[in-house]
Amino acid sequence: MKKLFFIAAIAGAALVSCTKNELAPSVTEQQEISFANPVMSTATKVAEVANDYSKSLHFGVWAHFYDQTTDLSKYTTFAGGEVYMNNVEVEYVDGVKGWKNATTPYFWPKNGSLTFIAYSPYGATGAGVDANGIKFTDYVVGDATDQDDLLFSERAYDKKAVDQPTSAADPYAGVQLNFKHALSSIMFKVKAAGNYPGHTLKVIKVEILNAYSKGTFSQGLGDNGTAVTADPAINPGWSGQSVERTYVAYDNTTGIELHPTNVKFLHSGSVDATDNTTDLILLPQSLKHTETSEVIVKVTYTLQNGDMSSPIEQVGEIKLATGNAGGYFGGIESWQRGKRY
Instruction: Single out the residue of 36, 60, 48 nearest to residue 153, CA to CA.
Output: 60
Q: What is the Cα 236 distance to its own chain's centre?
A: 15
Q: Is the pLDDT of residue 14 over 70?
A: no
Could you tell me which residue, 221 or 128, shows the higher pLDDT? 128
Residues 256-266 have a mean pLDDT of 86
pLDDT of residue 240: 94
Taking the CB of residue 11, how many other CB atoms lie within 10 A of it?
10
Instruction: Single out the residue of 63, 69, 43 nearest to residue 336, CA to CA.
Output: 43
pLDDT of residue 81: 79
CB burial of residue 338 (10 Å; 0-12, 13-18, 19+)? buried
pLDDT tens-place string over residues 288-321: 999 899 999 999 999 999 899 999 999 999 888 8
Question: With contact defined as beta carbons under 8 Å apart, do 132 and 219 qualify?
Answer: yes
pLDDT band at residue 104 under the 50/70/90 scheme: very high
Lowest model confidence (mean pLDDT) among 9-18, 22-31, 215-224: 9-18
Taking the CB of residue 294, how many other CB atoms lie within 10 A of it?
19
Question: With contact defined as beta carbons under 8 Å apart, do 260 and 165 qualify?
Answer: no
Distance CA(163)–CA(26), nearest Å, equals 11
pLDDT of residue 223: 52
At position 47, the amino acid (one-letter code) is: A
Distance CA(53)–CA(37), nearest Å, equals 8
Distance CA(41)–CA(181), nearest Å, equals 8
pLDDT band at residue 1 under the 50/70/90 scheme: very low
pLDDT band at residue 209 under the 50/70/90 scheme: very high
Contacts of 309 (CB under 8 A, 6+ apart): none
pLDDT of residue 96: 64
pLDDT tens-place string over residues 153-176: 988 888 888 766 555 555 557 898
pLDDT tens-place string over residues 44-92: 444 444 456 888 999 999 998 888 665 555 555 566 778 999 999 999 9
Could you tell me where the beta strands, DSSP code E, fall in 67-222?
82-92, 99-100, 113-120, 127-130, 133-140, 151-153, 156-159, 178-181, 184-186, 188-190, 199-218
Distance CA(264)–CA(275), nearest Å, equals 9
pLDDT band at residue 42 under the 50/70/90 scheme: low
Contacts of 157 (CB under 8 A, 6+ apart): 75, 115, 227, 228, 229
Three-state DSSP at 161 gives helix
**Could you give the percent of the chain with pLDDT greater than 90?**
38
Q: Is the pLDDT of residue 282 over 70?
A: yes
* pLDDT, the chain, mean: 78
Three-state DSSP at 340 gives strand
